[in-house]
């Protein structure tokens, strides 16, 4: 069996590539745990078929016309759109749709964890992290800070470490500090305060 046979290669490109592109685009927008490869192939074929179902009318118009002969460049770019660009557009449309409140009454929000929801907004916060041993670590989560996202474990880098006063308020920035990284295994809770930035 020759996998490089032209017909087999065309079938593979047609029924796996658009779905695979859709899966990878969605993983970039809404990271999640990776499924096993067998399930991903089945999903890729399913999403490819869905792509063709949505585009059935324009595909049938193009294929039942003489565009492939009279305008080969248009024909080529049309199929480039169908195979590579449309799957990405459907992902953006689906993610946007899932964020509407009336849709969330039917299906869950695309972001699975509050951690990802909060930190994906790219807002600045004053943060107090209470560790499992009761110690409190405070700092500024700003534009140079970073929080991990799913499927990675929750970790946070605060660009500025701050010392707390006896009342639990932010007193001053720690001297010589270049920030602090806090691991999820040590975190009990995270308090967020508006920074005004």
CATH number reported for the structural domain that contains residue 178 in this entry: 2.30.30.100
Tens digits of residue pLDDT in 45-75: 999 999 999 999 999 999 999 888 999 999 9
Q: 33 and 120 share a domain?
A: no
* Structural domain includes residue 109: no
Same domain, 77 and 131: no
pLDDT on residue 2 = 55
CA gap 70, 6 in Å, rounded: 24
In a domain? residue 148 = yes
Domain count, the chain: 2
Per-residue model confidence as pLDDT tens digits over 100-121? 777 777 777 667 788 888 888 8
Flag residues of the chain having pLDDT under 50.
1
Distances (CA, A) of 136 to 61, 155, 188: 65, 16, 10
99 and 126 assigned to the same domain: no
90: nearest Cα among 45, 35, 48, 33? 48
In a domain, 67, yes or no: yes
Q: How far apart are CA 38 and CA 91, in angstroms?
A: 21
Among 57, 86, 104, the domain boundary falls at 104
**Residue 38 covered by a domain:** yes
Q: In the prediction, which pLDDT does 19 show? A: 92
Q: Which domain holds residue 142?
A: 114-194
Residues 6+ away with beta carbon under 8 Å from 173 = 160, 161, 162, 163
- Together in a domain, 93 and 10: yes
Residues 67, 71, 73, 77, CA torsion sign? negative
Distance between first and last Cα of the chain: 62
Among 78, 104, 130, identify where a domain stops.
104
């Amino acid at each position: 069996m020759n996998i490089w046979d032209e017909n087999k290669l065309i079938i593979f490109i047609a029924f796996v590539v658009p779905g695979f592109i859709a899966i990878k685009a969605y993983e970039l927008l809404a990271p999640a745990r990776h499924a096993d490869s067998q399930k991903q192939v089945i999903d890729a074929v399913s999403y490819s078929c869905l792509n063709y179902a949505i585009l059935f009318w324009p595909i049938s118009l193009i294929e039942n016309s003489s565009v492939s002969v009279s305008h080969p460049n248009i024909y080529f770019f049309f199929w480039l759109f169908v195979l590579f660009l449309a799957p990405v557009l459907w992902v953006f449309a689906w993610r946007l749709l899932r964020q509407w409140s009336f849709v969330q009454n039917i299906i869950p929000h695309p972001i699975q964890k509050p951690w990802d929801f909060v930190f994906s907004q790219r807002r600045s916060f004053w943060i107090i992290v209470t560790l499992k041993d009761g110690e409190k670590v405070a700092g500024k989560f700003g534009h140079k800070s970073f929080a991990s996202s799913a499927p990675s474990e929750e970790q946070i880098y605060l660009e500025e470490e701050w010392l707390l006063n006896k009342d639990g308020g932010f007193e001053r920035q720690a001297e010589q500090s270049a920030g602090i990284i806090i691991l999820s295994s040590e975190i009990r809770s995270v308090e967020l305060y508006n920074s005004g930035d």
